[in-house]
Structure 1
Amino acid sequence: MKKKQFNATQIFELLFKRYPDLLRCEEDIMSSYKMLKQAYGENNKLLVAGNGGSASDSEHIVGELMKSFLFNRRIEEKYEKRLFDLYGEAGKEISQKLEGSLCSIPLTSMPALSTAFLNDVDPTLTFAQMLYGYGVEGDVFLGISTSGNSKNIINALMVAKAKNIKTIGLTGKSGGKMKDLCDITICVPEDETFMIQELHLPIYHALCAMLEADFFTEK
């Protein structure tokens, strides 16, 4: 049963109790959390992208942020009232079923746009094009690349910097080229792709859970 039982600090501490190898990433994970919290507090959004398994991680992250994760989130009271004022009991029923949401967009989820651009222009600039179109100053771009060298992620990071979009990289031990382009780079202590991905999941779960704990009350 979903229930709000941990605050952000407790979730952060639990991450390292379960995955002590990630202690070397502690500062970067906390900095990423603070960056995301600030962005959401200022009504900005998160954009996420990766390739292969990291594309799946991008979708996973957005799924945890756009709806309830560890507990059932209440929507803002002003929208509960507005729905009731407009539609009475029907509006009340809608508001009771809606869940609090943190705006996030997976750049991996738009096949018509992405295939048109990669066919007509350049496949390595597809994420960059989407970031250029969707991103505004103050947003955060999370680029996921196990090597840290994925060309389409690197290009997107360059566009992000040009647009004053904040950047977080989630990658492996070396950091790759991503390390020099990101505001924050979380380099998990593994070299093998599948082992890197296995450590990415608890990190982004913790970040999503911490943000949820900060921004929402329980239904």
Structure 2
Amino acid sequence: MPHQRIRAAIAVKQRILEDTALLERLQRATDACVHTFRSGGKVLFCGNGGSAADAQHLAAELSGRFYLDRPPLFAEAMHVNTSFLTAVANDYGYDHAFSRLTTAMGRSGDVLFLLSTSGNSRNILAAAVAGKKAGCTLIALTGAAGGELGPLVDILLNIPSEDTPRIQEGHMLLGHILCEDVERQLFGNNN
């Protein structure tokens, strides 16, 4: 049984490696983040459940460090303020939690990462609409189909899988590559 899961994970990574269009979109996402940081902007992340954990992980890689001991970058996972999140969920409904925070925090030139394995999470879709209105560059991390989120974003990083764990593993792979490349471009080589 574990062997099958490992083979499935390798197969997804092989499909990512062979998907030149996806890798080109990853480069565009990296370039968007570099441009945003060089312009004094910020990178925001939102997701639910495991995608929230991934969002927080990637924000920490940028705001803390990845390989290099360097200045912090302004990156934040929007679910970490639990008082805000629970208040909005209680007062307006959970579908509005990230859109209200995007409206409060997002500015023209910022990057908003939207993580949803299905691409159909209502609160993530609402955050995309709010982010577009705020002038953010929208980057989605989804599964193969992209869901309803795909057509709303500027850059779609859709992992070629329909299996949630494999999709999330792909999100972390692409996210780590992005963080490493952002750090290298902004602060030097990390060989």
TM above 0.5:
yes
Q: How many residues align?
A: 175
- Structure with max Cα Rg: 1
- Aligned pair partner of 1:183 in 154, 162, 168: 154
The Cα of 1:63 is off from its aligned counterpart by 0.9
Q: Deviations over 1:125-171 (max 9, x none)?
A: 10000000011111010000000001000000001111111100000
In structure 2, the partner of 1:158 is 129
Say which SS state the counterpart of residue 118 (structure 2) adopts.
coil
Counting only pairs closer than 5 Å after superposition, residues 60-99 of structure 1 correspond to structure 2 as 60-73=57-70
Say which SS state the counterpart of residue 68 (structure 2) adopts.
coil
The answer as to 2:142 corresponding to 1:171 is: yes
In structure 2, the partner of 1:52 is 49
The Cα of 1:68 is off from its aligned counterpart by 2.0
In structure 2, the partner of 1:213 is 184
Q: Deviations over 1:79-125 (max 9, x none)?
A: xxxxxxxxxxxxxxxxxxxxx11101111101101101110112101
Identity %: 32
Higher RCO (CA-CA < 8 Å; seq separation 6+): 1
Counting only pairs closer than 5 Å after superposition, residues 129-140 of structure 1 correspond to structure 2 as 129-140=100-111
TM-score, length-scaled by structure 2:
0.88
Aligned-partner Cα distance in 2 for 1:105–1:179: 22
The answer as to 2:31 corresponding to 1:34 is: yes
In structure 1, the partner of 2:16 is 22
Counting only pairs closer than 5 Å after superposition, residues 118-129 of structure 1 correspond to structure 2 as 118-129=89-100
In structure 1, the partner of 2:6 is none
Q: CA RMSD in A?
A: 1.4
The gaps in structure 1 that reach 5 residues or longer are 1-18, 74-99
Q: Which has the higher mean CA deviation after the structures are superposed, 101-110 or 19-28?
A: 19-28
The Cα of 1:217 is off from its aligned counterpart by 5.0
TM-score, length-scaled by structure 1:
0.77
